[in-house]
Chains A and B, each alone.
Chain A
Amino acid sequence: MSAPLTRAIATRLLAERLGNEVVVANLGQASFDLHAVADRPLNCYTFGAMGQCSSIALGIALARPDVRVIALDGDGSLLMNLGSLCTIATTAPPNYALVVWDNEVHQTTGGQPTATAAGSDLAAIARGAGIEKAMTVRGEDELQRAYDRILSEPGPLVVNVKVAKGKSESGLDRDVIGGPRRFIRALAARGRQSGAS
């Protein structure tokens, strides 16, 4: 097994491989790290509505089937909205991937353990919801192979990434109105193509 991953490293490894994909980041740590590693107009940061990251990304994927959409969620947030996995399974968008930074704690609020610390298995829950391509990865090698699949295979995929505990070293301006509008303009400017790329 490779060395334990941090969320920041895992985010950087994804950012290094991004082209025209949309990335939707959960409020707090996921958005902070994404912004620090690779701020780009096709990043959709979220600021409120804990739990809704996977659903917001699903709405984008359904409305723009020509664009590959990658959600970066957290274990605490996804646990608030497990029904989203059922809706992802029933709508089954081929351009959708959900990455979960699973550090087994509510990081932002002080590191209280989540259910994944006690053994709840988000990849197994996703498979139970009907998402066939659902996996847990540990270490850089497994993560890179999962990114290979996210960036090349038809979805939906769910990749639960076991990452080390720890807060982001970065922050993010809480431009709750302007931030989403930068994203809207960038996505609208991305011309429609046939099939996700």
Chain B
Amino acid sequence: MAGVTAGDPSWSKHVADVLRRNGIRMFATVPDSIVTQVLEHLGADAACRVVTVTREEEGVGLLAGAFLAGQRGALLMQNSGLGNCVNTLGSLNVASQIPVVLVISHRGDLGEFNPAQVPMGQATPKILDALGIRSIVPRSIAELEAQGDGLIKLAYTRALPVAFLLPAELTGGKLG
């Protein structure tokens, strides 16, 4: 990808491992070509449950229910799906202090080939900020490992959503 260093292909296992070692066992997803690499690790793990939903917002509701029933959950999606979740993240998770871990592949930023991805790509960090959702943008496996456990701990300390925003520098992006 022009202007972006290709990712180390082991990034996806590191993401899966950070989630699993912090007790997350319930996963909801609307997959894309990037987060599906993480889902391959989770789907192969008998201790993990992956539910493919029809729309990202549905996953937010489902994982809120799982939390109310004692299970930690993560939603894996492309940033285009963040827009589909905004009201539920605000009026359910933030309002009622129900934590969820968002794992978001970031399209529409450095190196993007599809012009339709760019507006939401540029808006994504601002949408997270507007909802008060703490996020990290790990640009390497080292950064992911340094920050991931702390991000998840923060989510459950204060019972709020947090987000891993995964840039093309980490994942290699989508090559078109």
Contact = CB atoms under 8 A, between A and B. Distances in A.
A and B interact physically? yes
B69 A63 contact: yes
A55 interface: yes
Contacts of B96: 47-48, 176-177, 179-180
Q: Which of A51, A56, A81, A91 has the most CB of B within 10 A?
A: A56
A81 B65 CA distance: 16
A48 B91 contact: yes
A81 B92 CA distance: 15
A87 B91 CA distance: 22
Interface of B: 26, 49, 51-55, 57-71, 73, 87-88, 90-92, 95-98
A49 B57 CA distance: 9
Given A24-B65, A56-B61, A62-B66, 17 more contacts: A47-B95, A48-B92, A49-B60, A49-B61, A51-B88, A53-B61, A55-B60, A56-B62, A56-B64, A56-B65, A56-B68, A58-B65, A63-B26, A64-B69, A84-B61, A87-B52, A187-B69
Contact of A62 (B49, B60, B91): B49
A61 B98 CA distance: 17
Contacts of B49: 62
A83 B90 CA distance: 21
A187 B61 contact: no
A183 interface: yes
Contacts of A53: 61
B66 A59 contact: yes
A56 B62 CA distance: 5
B70 A55 contact: no
Contacts of A83: 53-55, 58
Q: Which of A44, A59, A87 has the most CB of B within 10 A?
A: A59
Contacts of A57: 65
Nearest to A63: B69
A50 B67 CA distance: 19
Contacts of A5: none
A59 B70 contact: no
A86 B64 contact: no
Interface residues of A, number: 37
A49 B68 CA distance: 15
A177 B160 CA distance: 12
Given A48-B92, A63-B71, A87 B58 contact: yes
Interface string A115-158: 00000000000000000000000000000000000000000000
A59 B92 contact: no
B95 A52 contact: no
A90 interface: yes
A22 to B, nearest CB: 8
Contacts of B98: 180
B68 A177 contact: no
Nearest to B98: A180
Closest CB pairs A-B (n = 6) = A59-B65, A48-B91, A83-B54, A55-B61, A52-B61, A63-B69
A53 B52 CA distance: 18
A1 interface: no
A176 B97 CA distance: 8
Contact of B63 (A47, A59, A67): A59
Contacts of B52: 87, 90
Contacts of B51: 62, 87, 91
Contacts of A164: none
